[in-house]
């Protein structure tokens, strides 16, 4: 069989390699069926045009659009030399996926050594390019994964372009619902402002960051995640995406908070202990709520006699009963703690010393008038002594506590069942003569 007898158009039509033939001005003269399939185009979209449908584009190895001069046919026209083994991606608006092909382009010359036409052939290498099924691995990963674009400006925040199955299970948002949203949609009223600032700073500087953050599901259920965010750059060093990997640590945080609570609470009275008091004070200081602070230290009078007469078990019941009275007597923003033994401490914030003194005196009278049914055999009554001090700007809180402790000592020396105040000259007298506060 001679070459003249071979039906080359028919042969090209059956090739599993895509073939496109261009004229010397880049117009498409012919595209075989495989080429149309790979390019996702119809024949009428291709023939006699030098630019394809605007919704379709070629990409380089870094998934960036190829410029017109970088197209294989134009490179051949410009250089009159072949282009071999060029990896090119094909994308259009019909799908999010990219098809990858290995492309060759060869010029064919006329008798004047001018380009008569250019033959471009390509084969689909998408599967070979993804020898490891990265997308399948990511999709089935146990951690929630979010990928956003790299737009981070004050007026424009990154938008989500991909989430995996684990993200949907954790957040309740489907990939369709969340796509195009900013990840801040997952944050809520109790998400720490400081954490959000740290994340924003890292993103604006293209830095990786790992942190813990409180997020919220679509149904507004809070959950904690350990969040790792890192930028993804292409091989040219250009930032393309931010990727977030979120691991659900809600159980870990709950356990940690429970242990923290146990470490900061007195097991007998269920009040804060000294460590818990310190932690709450630090939180107040961080919130700049140091103004108008008054300290009161309370001591159960003759508590040793209660232990000696009724036993330590009864003494413990007295402490628990008294703690219940304290819990119900003071404001929710007052910090109440067991200071040690039969001593208790109260830190009032944003309060005038006179109002705090009035409150403390009423509580002292209440305790003195009350009988506690500790057991079926005993009703026990007792009194308390109180030392108070106002925290001045020149004093640290613990210096004010020392002043309150000294005032408590004076109250005991004065016969107990009374309130003694440090810096008495600043306190107006509000009690009757038969039961004045001790200064």
Query: Where are the CATH 3.30.70.270 domain residues in the chain?
Result: 265-426
The active-site residue, picked from 342, 399, 425, 426, is 342
Confidence of residue 61 (pLDDT cuts 50, 70, 90): confident
Statement: residue 82 has pLDDT above 80: yes
**What architecture does CATH give domain 3-129?**
2-Layer Sandwich (3.30)
Q: List pLDDT tens digits, range 50-60.
A: 655 566 678 88
H/E stretch holding 29? strand 28-31
Higher pLDDT, 400 or 236: 400
Contact predicate 214/41, CB 8 Å: no
Instruction: For domain 134-253, give the CATH number.
Output: 3.30.450.20
**What's the whole-number mean pLDDT along residues 236-245?**
84
Percent of the chain topping pLDDT 90: 48
C-beta atoms surrounding 90 within 10 Å: 20
Confidence of residue 96 (pLDDT cuts 50, 70, 90): low
Distance, CA of 386 to CA of 93 (rounded, Å): 77
What's the pLDDT at 53?
A: 57
Query: Where are the CATH 3.30.450.20 domain residues in the chain?
Result: 3-129, 134-253
- The stretches of 377-436 forming alpha helices (DSSP H) are 397-413
Q: List pLDDT tens digits, range 201-225.
A: 998 888 999 999 999 999 999 999 9
How many helices (H) and strands (E) are present in the chain, helices listed first?
15, 18
What's the pLDDT at 434?
A: 43
* 4 catalytic residue (yes or no): no
What's the pLDDT at 332?
A: 76
Fold for the domain defined by 265-426: Alpha-Beta Plaits (3.30.70)
Higher pLDDT, 399 or 291: 399
Statement: residue 136 has pLDDT above 80: no
CB burial readout 374-391, b (16+ within 10 A) else e: beeeeebebbbbbbbbbb
Q: List pLDDT tens digits, range 273-321.
A: 999 999 888 877 765 555 689 999 999 999 999 999 888 999 999 999 9
What's the pLDDT at 40?
A: 75
């Amino acid at each position: 069989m001679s070459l003249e007898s071979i039906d080359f158009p028919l042969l090209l039509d059956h090739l599993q390699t895509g073939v496109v033939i261009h004229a010397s001005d880049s117009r498409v003269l012919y595209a075989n069926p495989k080429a149309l399939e790979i390019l996702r185009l119809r024949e009428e979209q291709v023939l006699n045009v030098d630019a394809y449908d605007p919704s379709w584009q070629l990409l380089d190895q870094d998934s960036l659009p190829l410029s017109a001069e970088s197209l294989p046919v134009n490179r051949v026209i410009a250089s009159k030399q072949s282009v071999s083994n060029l990896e090119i991606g094909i994308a259009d608006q019909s799908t999010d996926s990219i098809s990858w092909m290995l492309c060759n382009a060869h010029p064919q010359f006329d008798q004047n050594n001018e380009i008569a036409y250019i033959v471009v052939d390509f084969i689909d290498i998408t599967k070979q390019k993804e020898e490891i099924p990265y997308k399948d691995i990511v999709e089935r990963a146990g951690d929630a994964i979010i990928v956003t674009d790299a737009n981070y400006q004050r007026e424009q925040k990154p938008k989500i372009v991909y989430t995996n199955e684990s993200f949907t299970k954790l957040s309740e948002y489907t990939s369709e619902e969340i796509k195009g949203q900013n990840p801040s949609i997952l944050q809520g009223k109790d998400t720490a402002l400081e954490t959000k600032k740290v994340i924003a700073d890292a993103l604006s500087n293209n830095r990786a960051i790992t942190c813990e953050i409180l997020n919220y599901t679509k149904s507004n259920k809070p959950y904690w995640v350990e969040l790792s965010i890192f930028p993804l750059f292409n091989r040219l060093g250009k930032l393309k995406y931010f990727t977030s990997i979120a691991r659900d640590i809600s159980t870990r945080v709950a356990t940690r908070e429970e242990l923290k609570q146990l470490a900061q609470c007195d097991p007998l009275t269920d009040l804060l202990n000294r460590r818990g008091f310190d932690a709450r004070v630090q939180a107040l200081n961080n919130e700049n709520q140091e103004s108008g602070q008054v300290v009161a230290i309370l001591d159960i009078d003759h508590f040793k006699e209660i232990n000696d007469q009724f036993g330590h078990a009864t003494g413990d019941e007295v402490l628990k009963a008294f703690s219940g009275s304290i819990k119900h007597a003071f404001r929710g923003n007052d910090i109440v703690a067991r200071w040690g033994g039969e001593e208790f401490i109260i830190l009032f914030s944003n309060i005038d010393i006179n109002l705090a003194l009035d409150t403390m005196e009423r509580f002292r009278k209440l305790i003195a008038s009350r009988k506690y049914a500790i057991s079926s055999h005993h009703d026990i009554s007792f009194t308390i002594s109180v030392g108070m001090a106002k925290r001045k700007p020149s004093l640290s809180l613990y210096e004010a506590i020392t002043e309150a402790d000294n005032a408590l000592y004076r109250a005991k020396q004065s016969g107990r069942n009374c309130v003694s105040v440090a810096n008495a000259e600043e306190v107006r007298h509000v009690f009757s003569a038969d039961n004045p506060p001790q200064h």
